[in-house]
Amino acid sequence: MLLLAGLGNPGPKYAGNRHNIGFMAIDAITRRHGFGPWRKKFQGEIAEGAIDGVRCLALKPQTFMNESGRSVGEAARFHKIAPLGVVAFYDEIDLAPGRFRMKTGGGAAGHNGIRSIIASPVGEGFRRARLGVGHPGHKDQVHGYVLSDFAKADAGWVDKLIEAVAAAAPFLARGEDDKYQAEVMRLAPAEKANPRQTPPQDA
């Protein structure tokens, strides 16, 4: 079983925030692949389904971002899912808007949701689906930036990116993360970003 965890903050107040693009991606995946209805479990909302014959559990923690690991860790422990069977979808300020990168293991790079999962029973060896939202330009502006809604002008690339993440998901289910990344970027090529929102990128 794969655990697909979208990270974000619960409630309508945060629904359109950059910090909630992980929730948006998971919603797109469950819609496209016909997952069952959402229900409450593991301190979050879960939906069950299959992608390319692989059984999957979609999870949106309702613990708030900083405590995401409580929910993800509980679900992974209950279903005995190894770290490589856990995929976290989340906003990445160190990638330009619309860029997408897969990564396995490593540190939190300042992301509190990822830090919380690393501190959970899952540990640091899980897979990360990093959805680029760009950087506000100064570290002091990051908190307000990620907790603000996407601008109307962003709607086009955001929709394309989350739909591509859903359409390409069979590669993810098969464990072909490099092909998954390539297919997402083929389906949703990132437009040239505002230089102010293009910090150094890591692979």
Q: Where are the domains of the chain?
A: 2-197
Q: How confident is the model at residue 198 (pLDDT cuts 50, 70, 90)?
A: very low
The strands making up 54-61's β-sheet, listed across from edge to edge, are 39-41, 44-51, 54-61, 2-6, 86-92, 127-132, 100-104
At 114-169, the pLDDT tens digits run 999 999 999 999 999 999 999 998 889 999 999 999 999 999 999 999 999 999 99
Distance from C-alpha of 68 to C-alpha of 62, rounded to nearest angstrom: 8
Q: Is the pLDDT of residue 193 over 60?
A: no
Q: How confident is the model at residue 192 (pLDDT cuts 50, 70, 90)?
A: low
Burial of 44 (0-12, 13-18, 19+ CB in 10 A): buried
Burial of 158 (0-12, 13-18, 19+ CB in 10 A): buried
Residue 143 annotated to the active site: no
- Active-site residue identified among 19, 33, 111, 135: 19
Instruction: Answer whether 59's CB lies under 8 Å from 4's CB.
Output: yes
Say which CATH architecture domain 2-197 belongs to.
3-Layer(aba) Sandwich (3.40)
Give whole-number Cα distances, 39 to 32, 42, 45, 61, 178, in Å.
18, 10, 5, 12, 32
Q: Is the pLDDT of residue 38 over 60?
A: yes
At 55-88, the pLDDT tens digits run 999 999 999 999 999 999 999 999 999 999 999 9
Helix (H) or strand (E) holding 126: none
Give whole-number Cα distances, 130 to 83, 140, 162, 166, 177, in Å.
17, 22, 11, 14, 12
Per-residue model confidence (pLDDT) at position 190: 81
At 85-109, the pLDDT tens digits run 999 999 999 999 999 999 999 999 9
Q: How far is CA 75 from the centre of its chain?
A: 16
Q: What is the pTM assigned to this prediction?
A: 0.93
